[in-house]
Every structure is written in structure tokens, then in C-alpha cells.
Structure 1
Amino acid sequence: MFRHRTARPAALLLGTALTTLTALAATPAGAVPAAADGAGGALPAVTPRAQTPPLHDDEAGGNADADDPAIWRDPADPGASLVIATAKEGGLRVYDLAARQVQSLPAPPADGPDDAPGRFNNVDLVHGMRLGSGPSDLAVTTDRGHDRLRVYRIARNGDGAPLTDVTDPAARPVFSSGQEEINEQRTAYGLATWTDPATGRSYALVSRRNTTRLALLELTPTAAGKVTYRTVRTLDLPSSFRLPDGTSWSPCGEPDEQPQVEGMVVDPADGTLYAGQEDVGIWRLRADLTGSPHLVEKVREYGVPGSYDEESEECVPGADPGFGGTHLSADVEGLTLLAEKDGDGVLLASSQGDSTFAGFDRERDEENEYEGGFRVTAAGRDLDGSEECDGAAVLNAPLGKRYPDGLLVVQDGHDTPQDGERGATGFKFVDLADVTRALDG
């Protein structure tokens, strides 16, 4: 039977506990600890220009839980561009640049009374795939509930419904062999898309929940004008690590669960995949999943031992041996690439454990050095910031009068609805000019 869990992962609780204890030890009573950069200085803050209506993960709210956004630029009218975002069991939401909802698409229902319902986790875009008579832009999402990809054509047709489902109904599960295995929910989770400029073929990189596995799937059109996919190859990232003192370490988690990947992004310039293993750090590897992965940034909690307590379903941390990084606090989430026209740019990562964002140099032949960080904070009583951000998307291109310098969209794991009563999530829209000023210091 499908088991719907809403509790936070044990390893995330471990990371949050360590971060909180460290901050409180150095903070006077009653003060709020400020996020700091690697040198100990306070990070700059940016404020959002707009926010989406709150989503509620309860029956009255349609079990909608904000997770991951993507930004689609309308080439004919950039000011009419869209933000496409996942809402888990609530399906997909489409917003205009004023953060107003223009479309809501439900996740598919459960196949049977004891089966998992559809649950959309991550979303990314494919541009220019030929479907039928011409090229189409697509939104691709992982349906974690059914272990499948769902694909939607994007078209501005003036009727307020820009997305149309074009998923091949015969598409098979990504990882599972049957419904029983799907119900265990080790299913399609994180997602990044990539089009190989040498061949024109489009792909989805998909991670498997509660494991370290990544899969490369080729996306192909069918004669019926739908989109299907096939597995090209898979790769398993490490689940245990040799520490500098010679000991072996694995992140603490629930029994039989490995450190999973969710946030991913592909650099289109050279097909480099960046994959965020939530309780470990950021990996750099080839998007075709050949060659050896390279761990370019560790979370602060890397190497910290922990013991899982079954009664509380939490991890109890041990002493920190000091082998972790300095810029990310587990979980590492929401990877997105701020690309620049001259080939430079910054890899942005959500440091979920301390509600900050870190930027790393895009240079492929270097070590992706830290470029700076920032927080997204409240802009007033009715426009709060971003906490425990899951997903993020950035577009460095003019988007009409609202965002002439581009846009950053971040998930807010603790939205503050006006009624102040129900827990909520949502998305914040941030002017990219504010972000680049913060990163430039």
C-alpha cells in the first residue's frame, strides 16, 4: 500500500540541528542569527518583487505543495513569459510574471485504491522539439507517484491554457518493474533536461528517490504527436565515503535509504551535469553519464556521524570531525545556472539547511570556486522571503518591463499566508539585477 510521508528526512533534521546549534552558540539571547559567508561575514539580502498565491498541502488546498519552478520565455512577447511550477499531488501551476496563476493542471489519479497518486516533483524545459508539423517547446516533469515522466507542450494561444499534455500514454515507468515496486516510491525524483547540440537529440537526467541512481533518458516524438522516452544508461553515485582520517562515512538516514539526488542542472555549453546529492554536496560529471563524477563542493555536515532513532524518526548527530565544506548546509537543493553571454556565469545552489543561496564559478576547467551568496528576505508584511528552499530557476534574459534584467524564481518552504493559520508553500520572484549585485558584493 502507498505510504504518504510528510515528515522531513532524517538527514535534513541532522543538518538543521547542527546548523542551529552552531548559530545559537554564537548568538546573544533573543537575537536572530544572520546567515554568513565562508569568511564569517553576513550575507547580503535580496527581496522579492512578487510571490505566488500560497499553496496548502491539505485536503482543502488540494494537497498542493510547491517544489520546483522553470521559466519559459515567450520569444514573441517576453513580457508574456511564464513560470511553470510543480505542486506535487496538486499537479502543475502556471504563473505570469506578476505571479498570478493562469493555469492549473492536476496530477494523474492513482491507478487503484491502494496505489500511489500522481505527484509532480521537478520540472524543466526542452526547446524546439518537432511534434507534428513544427517545433514545440515542452515542459517535462517527474511524476514521482507513478514513476514516469509527464510532458506538456507550451503554446501561447490566448485562451489562458498554455500547457497541453502530450505524454505518450504507453510510456513505461522510469525505474520500477511494476506497480508494487512503484508503491514503494523509489521512483523518478529530480530532473534536468539537456539537448545535445551535436546531434539535436533531447534528454532528461532523472534521479531515483532514496537511492543514488541517475538515469539518462532520450526524449523522442511519436507518430501520434506525443512524447515518449527510453533509458540510455544509468549511473550510481557513491553512498559511502572515505574521510581524510581513513574512516568510512555514510550520511545518517532511515534504514535502507541511500543519500539521494534531487537538484540538477546541465550546462548547455559543454554538457556538464551538476547534481546535488542532498546530504553530501555537488557533483560535476558528464551529462551523458560517462566518465567519473567529481565532488566539487561538500555540505557542512559532510563526515558528521549520526545514529538513527526509530522512536523519533530522527538522526542524533555526533561530533563534527571538520571535514565538511563552508558554504552549503544540508540539504543542497535547487541547482540552477546563471549563464552569461561571454561564457562566464554562476552555478546557484539552495543551501536549504540555513535558507541561503550560494554561487559557484561556472569555469569547467577549474574547481567551481565560491563566488558569493545571499538570502531572500521579506519585502514587507505581505511579501515574505524564502525559507528552506527546494527548487530554483534563473533566466538571464530580458522579460519585458517587469524584469528587463532577467528573473530568479525560488521556492519558499514556509510561505506566510495572509490568514496566518495554515502551513503553506509558494514561489518568490526576484529581479535578477538584485541577485547579481549581491553576488558582486
Structure 2
Amino acid sequence: MPRALPLTLLAACLAAGLTVPARAGTAPSVPSAAPAVETPALFDDDAGGNADGDDPAVWRHPGDPARSLVLGTAKEGGLHVYALDGRVIQHVPAPPAPGPDDESGRFNNVDLVPGRDLAVVTDRGRDTLRFYRVSGTGVTDVTDPAVPLLFNRTQDEVNEQRTPYGLAVFTREGRAYAVVSRAGTSTLALVELLGTRAGYTYRTVRTIELPTAFRLPDGTSWTPCLEPGEDPQVEGMVVDARTGVLYAAQETVGIWRLPATLRGEPKLVDRVREFGVPGVYDPGTEECVPGADPGFGGRRLAADVEGLTIHYGGGYLIASGQGDDTFVIYDRRDGRYLRSFKIGAGNGLDGVQESDGAAVFDGPLGPAFPRGLLVVHDGDNTPVVTDPSGEPRENTNFKFVRWDAVARPLGLVVR
């Protein structure tokens, strides 16, 4: 992931305009909305606590929406809690390593249990889920100290880091569940979230494997090019609370639609453009060398497809295409493509590149965001900040965008 520098906090009430950037050599042009607010820079180095922003979630304050909070994961940098003006009001460190040769905590994704003021975080470093009670003043750790390992049996296996990655939380018949993906694999696990006298824990209900090889229209078989031993993994996920449908972004493949219970056949809503392109892994560069494109990919999404979020008022599924810094909007009912947009520079703030997680809230959140809020991860925050040796520091943060700044010029629903 990227690099860059601090921030300037702007009044959230500043409405973002929409422009169409004309970049030479790119077509077609994609409309661009500007952020209204950004959070402080997170630096992925020793001096910055190895903080690397990833995934946001929006918590609405029940009594005063203007005091709502944004939670943001920062991998080894733990969990940050932000006010709507971008200020950090709390930082929760990731748990330390259990032993000198073991992996420390690494918070990857975060989601909220509907109606329960409870946040759930995937701890990729420790192979667990962690739980935080959310209030207007921040979060409190309510994880049962005896939570089990989620995917592995021993600490040695945990240290291989085939551990919890993506996350989507939902409720069904009064019970809370999470769908959790496993890093480096195509595995999805359905876990039930359980309260105990000591806090919250979980139990695994079932697991499934998404496809890793695909039959192409010309009769050949295709597998995405990845590092040896890796399968195409899932990170971004969201469950449609009204239909019980899970949308899962398999990064180098596309977006799957399937029941959140993980029973039933998964169906591809859309494919990444690179779908079907052969590749050979080069161990020297640690990159895949692509072959000729046979033309079987989608038209809208550029790998990796990352964050997924649902705007219920408009009925939109929003996906971030990390490969070309574009967000793609689909009809959540039938998967039909609607529009695309970018988050560009404006209001004195830089735009968004290499975005990972995204979260949209479709109700009013005080005067700063009266028509809703879109929070997105910026994987290449600027301006660039250098370390004492003059090298750029890897720099990420989160951008807050007024939903009406995105929706109105695109002809989308604004509540």
C-alpha cells in the first residue's frame, strides 16, 4: 500500500462539488466528488506505530447525530475512533504478540452489529474477532478473554497468517452473525456472535470455499495469477439487511452474491476487467506478468475489487475498484450497473487513490452531513512526508464525503 502526509481538518459543512477530470490517455472520464473532511495521516513505519488504514464503519449517535463516530482500522496500528470533523477521539492499540516469535494483533476490518452499539473487528494477527461497545465517548473492549482461534488450531499455524480478513455482520431471527473471510484463501466462515458473562465470543456455524478456477467462454480454464500457495481471497463484504444476501468481493475475480447463511449457490454480479487474463508469477519482482487479454472480463471494475457498502435509501451497492481508483455503483436488487465516480482533490484536500474499505450512511448526521456520509480509505494520502533519510513514508487516512456531493450530479437518490 501507498505513501504520503498529514492533513488539514476542514469544516464538514463545506459541500463538495463534482467535476469531470480530463486525464490524458484515459477514457472514458469518470465524475469526481471532493471530500469534505479527512482524518490525520497514518504512517506505516516504526515511528508511526506501523499504522496502515484499511476499513471504516459509521456509528450513528442515537441522541445527537452530529456526535456520530467513524471507526477505522489501521492494521498493527489498531483501531481509531474519529469525530465527524476528522479528529481522533480515541486510539485502541492492537493486542501484543503472545510470545517473542509470534505475530502481534493486526486489525483488518470493522463492522457494526445492527441495533446493538457493538463493533466487531477482525484481528488478522491473532486469528480472532474482537468486540467493542460503542458510545458517544468512544469504544470499550468487551471481548471475552477466552475467545477461540477462528481458523487455526495452534499458534504456529496462526503465525502463517491464514487468519480472519474481511468481515460482514448481520442479524437474523434475533441472533447476530458475522461472515468472515480467511486471508490467502477463498474460504468464508459463518460465525454466530455470542454474549458471555465475560464479554462476547463466537462459534463457527459453517464454512464454504468460493471458486478458485473458472471455465472461460472459449472452453479453457483460468485461475488468477497470485503468489505461489495463494488462492483468490475475499476482503470487502456486506450483507443486505433487508434481503439476507451477502455480497463478497473476491479481489482478483469480481463480486459474488449468495445467501448470508452460506447455503446456496454463489453467483457473480460482476467480473473485474482482468478476469480471464493469463499471468505468470515472477519471483524476482514478486509480480505477475500478464499475457494477452482474451476479452472475457467485466467493463467496470478494476482489480483489486475491495470495499463494499450498501446505501439503502437509494438501493445501491457501492464497490471500490482499487486498480483504477474508481467506485462503482450497482442496483442492489438485480446487480445492474448504474454509475461510476472517483473521489478527487477539492476543498483543500487531496483525492483518493488505492482505496480499500468504504462505508456509506444514508441518513442525516447533523449539519456537516445532512444528506448522509460516505467514508472511504485513501491508500495514498498526500502531500508526501519523508523520513529522516529522505524516503517517502507510507501514508494513509480516511476521507469523509457528503453523500449529496456524490449523488446529485449522478442523478442518484438523496434522502
Q: Identify whether the pair has TM-score above 0.5, normalized to the shorter chain.
A: yes
Note if contact 1:46-1:438 (Cα within 8 Å) is conserved in structure 2. Answer: no
Alignment partners' CA distance in 2, 1:281 and 1:418:
32
1:81 shift after superposition = 0.1
Alignment partners' CA distance in 1, 2:205 and 2:185:
19
1:438 shift after superposition = 4.0
Residue aligning to 1:133: none
Q: Does 1:149 align with 2:119?
A: no
1:439 shift after superposition = 3.3
Note if contact 1:299-1:328 (Cα within 8 Å) is conserved in structure 2. Answer: yes
Residue aligning to 1:19: none
Alignment partners' CA distance in 1, 2:318 and 2:247:
10
Matches within 5 A, 1:41-440: 41-129=28-116, 137-156=117-136, 160=137, 162-196=138-172, 199-224=173-198, 226-340=199-313, 344-363=314-333, 366=334, 368-380=335-347, 382-417=348-383, 419=385, 421-440=392-411
Note if contact 1:45-1:438 (Cα within 8 Å) is conserved in structure 2. Answer: no
- Runs of 4+ residues over 3 Å off in structure 1: 31-34, 417-421
Alignment partners' CA distance in 2, 1:437 and 1:372:
12
- Structure 2: gaps (5+ residues): 3-21, 387-391
Shift of the 178–123 alpha-carbon distance from structure 1 to 2, 3 Å rule, reads: same
The answer to which structure, 1 or 2, has the higher relative contact order (CA under 8 A, 6+ apart) is 2
User: What RMSD in Å do the two structures reach over aligned CA positions?
Assistant: 1.6
Note if contact 2:45-2:393 (Cα within 8 Å) is conserved in structure 1. Answer: no
Alignment partners' CA distance in 2, 1:413 and 1:389:
5
Alignment partners' CA distance in 2, 1:322 and 1:147:
39
1:223 shift after superposition = 2.3
1:354 partner SS: coil
Note if contact 2:61-2:135 (Cα within 8 Å) is conserved in structure 1. Answer: no
Residue aligning to 2:6: none
Alignment partners' CA distance in 2, 1:79 and 1:207:
33
Query: Cα deviations across residues 17-37 of structure 1 (Å, max 9, x unaligned)?
Result: xxxxxxxxxxx9xx6444x5x
* TM-score, length of structure 2 as denominator length: 0.91
Amino acid in the other structure paired with 1:70: A
Amino acid in the other structure paired with 2:233: Q
Note if contact 2:309-2:317 (Cα within 8 Å) is conserved in structure 1. Answer: yes
Alignment partners' CA distance in 1, 2:395 and 2:383:
7
Alignment partners' CA distance in 2, 1:190 and 1:33:
34
Matches within 5 A, 1:10-21: none
Note if contact 1:302-1:324 (Cα within 8 Å) is conserved in structure 2. Answer: yes
1:414 partner SS: coil
Amino acid in the other structure paired with 2:158: I
Name the structure where helix makes up a greater proportion of residues.
1
1:230 shift after superposition = 0.3
1:119 shift after superposition = 0.2
- Structure 1: gaps (5+ residues): 1-5, 8-27, 130-136
Note if contact 1:371-1:439 (Cα within 8 Å) is conserved in structure 2. Answer: no
Task: State the number of aligned residues.
Answer: 389
2:102 partner SS: coil
Alignment partners' CA distance in 2, 1:234 and 1:32:
46
User: Alignment identity in percent?
Assistant: 59
Alignment partners' CA distance in 2, 1:73 and 1:439:
26
